Amino acid sequence: MAIRRSIVLLVGVLLGAGPAHAFPDKPVRFIVPFAPGGGNDIIARLIGAKLSATWGQQVVVDNRPGAGGNLAAETTARSAPDGHTIFQFNVANTIAPGLYRKLAYDPVADFAAITQLATSPFIVAVNPSVRATNVKEFIALAKANPGKLNYASSGNGGSTHLLTEVLKKMAGIEMAHIPYNGAAPALTDLLAGQVQMMLAVPFTVMPHVRSGKVRALGVTSARRSPLAPELPTVAESGVKGYEGATWYGVVAPARTPPAIVNLINRDIVLALHEPDVQEKLAAQSVEVVGSTPQAFSQFIRSEIPKWAEAVRLSGARVD
């Protein structure tokens, strides 16, 4: 594939297409806002390896965790807009404007959207000791016992915290929030019965559902997920209008030339639809998207006010 691409570039130069068609002409940095080993990192490395093979240039995954993804976003925003730095933009970056009083980047103005990679719903999961087999029964139980049920989240201001607070408001229930430093310790306490409920991505929780250590009540997405088609959505379980999911995308610094944005988009979308990539992403319990730059830009814009309202309802704030 790299040889074929070199031939195409050579033809472009001979026809006077100019040096812009030689992208990339050096290694590309793929900034990931979380530590190695997690879902974000796994997806980035999978796509990065495909791009390396296509481009004949190394795509280096640069893990820069910290401040809920903001440090990595700021680094990307300050990088040269030539396509040689790309960033794994995610749901945290659209939560940030509503959560932080001061933000050193603008999630719309400072980036050129390339594509949404994938999405995944959250599973409404409870400890088996909870006397509820579906969302309707859980809501009825919570209403009968206001404030007596605990729910876990992966941290204050994170998507699982905010989405559970929105669920509380829309369903008219009260639960105590127990924040953790990540999803893994939260799930550990759910398994132990220290907390009664949490929202968790399918990849981490479904093995425990299948073993009977956790009970799944529904999914948070707007439609049933092919990852767990037997589970009804929260909306169809009586909380009309409720929906939320985690997602992954790719952006470049603002003012990156459109020709380069479109080239990166094309090659990422092609990679996403390769059978081995789809198989590996399915194993991570995520659904492939592969949108256009325009569609992803519109999606980002639509997510910001949605999460701002979730932050308002939750009362969360990070100074």
pLDDT in tens, 119-143: 999 999 999 999 999 999 999 999 9
pLDDT in tens, 229-279: 999 999 999 999 999 999 999 999 999 999 999 999 999 999 999 999 999
Mean pLDDT of 272-291: 92
CB atoms within 10 A of CB 309: 13
Position 319 in a domain: no
Write down the pLDDT at residue 71: 93
- Whether residues 58 and 142 share a domain: the answer is no
Write down the pLDDT at residue 21: 55
pTM: 0.84
Candidates 205, 229, 226, 204; CA nearest to 216 is: 205
- Whether residues 249 and 215 share a domain: the answer is no
Residue span of the structural domain in which 27 resides? 2-120+245-314
Domain end (from 206, 237, 268)? 237
- Whether residues 64 and 211 share a domain: the answer is no
Mean pLDDT of 10-34: 69
